A and B are shown apart, each in its own frame.
Chain A
């Protein structure tokens, strides 16, 4: 029984982390434009985040040191600060997108202007971080997020032409009416949505919050290899729903109501309400994770006391930093900027920032001073190096493609 609960961290990072506002929006956009033609990117992303999270979870469990402590120690104060600035700002953008996502999900449920929901959502995020135990927070959002399975159910209810869906998935490449640059731009966006750096900050710091030891490594492996593929399947289901309903009708995804449109068409109000609960849980869970991650990265760089297992007054700067981040996100959202647009940019910049945190983890996972005999094996290093190449290629190509395609317009 305890073991079943143990997987919850993985399930949360899968649902609230793998599927967050970034995945919801990007997968629906991609599905409505390319069908399942980019499903392979989700597969690449799932394997990548498994490798990356498994390594950082192992480093955290064996050495007791979280990601940004290691980045600071390896890169020194200057390069570490540059890394912190980039990672922190992109994470802040993601916090903003997730809180905006919570507000949009509440708008779907109530038809009240999302700008009115933003302060409510932000306060809810803060109060949960302030008062709720780490384990409770991850289990509740994780379990509620599972209702997103309704996207997979909806795909079956829509009884699509499976042959043509499989055909799209197995013959990747830009369709005739889309430029190749646009295709690759969305490939990078999807990759960035799947491999968001905050998932790793959260995963490695969460391992320390839950006081993992070397004995918990099996649990960590289970978390990663059960949790993330589950998230990947949901991602593909979201894209599949969009491919079946939105692509033939040439509907562009510009809001959450279009993301859930196929679900409503397939299963009516009941399915729609499941989807709304799922989106709410996933974005709320991700808002918690990203807000915590912003505190984790700052505290670990500067060596402050951090962690939800302490009283807030005993990790004062950590909590103060998170309060400020939430307030900044509210300020950005209150300008009326569309959270969907913020989301689209945040996933692309996530891909840009990925090498900054990936490389130090790969190096430390091979360092015997930290890892003893738990260093990476040959197989892990091989796949880790393959992903290093993919991640760097995506990071280098992201900004030029963003400019050339006009953000995929």
Chain B
């Protein structure tokens, strides 16, 4: 066994510091909660090659991944709602993104409800008086 390399930066525990934290967009608008993470460089059920580069977090998953995290199983890839990790700018008590939430595919449900239901009720697109 090699001794574990001492990390140089801040150590983040995925369970403790990332999962189930609120994700906010560039303007502080809630986008989702970090329901699950996608790891790349590691295959489920395949023994890990000791020479392989360490896996990395490639995306925050949301939507159907919340249900599978509670009840087990995996959602089909086509139904995944993914926020690429490269958009993340800050991890604190919340996870901040560097883009506007409206630009993300993962917020389509919010946009759909806003455009087709809430936005059609009179006053739905105005600031409260």
**Interface positions of A (Cβ within 8 A of B):** 63-65, 69, 72-73, 76-78, 80-81, 130-134, 299, 301-306, 308-314, 316-317, 319-320, 369-370
Contact = CB atoms under 8 A, between A and B. Distances in A.
B93 A303 contact: no
A312 B94 contact: no
A77 B128 CA distance: 33
A63 B21 CA distance: 13
B128 A370 contact: no
* Size class of the contact patch on chain B: 35 or more
Given A317-B113, A320-B113, A81 B70 contact: yes
A316 B113 contact: yes
9 contacts: A63-B93, A73-B20, A130-B121, A132-B128, A133-B128, A303-B22, A304-B110, A316-B114, A370-B93
**Max chain A Cβ within 10 angstroms of own Cβ: one of B34, B93, B94:** B93
A309 B126 CA distance: 11
Interface class of chain A by DSSP:
helix
Interface stretch (B4-12, B23-31, B41-49, B51-59): B23-31
B13 to A, nearest CB: 12
Contact of B114 (A81, A134, A314): A314
A305 B110 contact: yes
A305 B127 CA distance: 15
Contacts of A73: 20-22
Given A65-B93, A69-B22, A316-B118, A302 B113 contact: no
A158 B70 CA distance: 58
B80 interface: no
B125 interface: yes
B93 A316 contact: no
A319 B93 contact: no
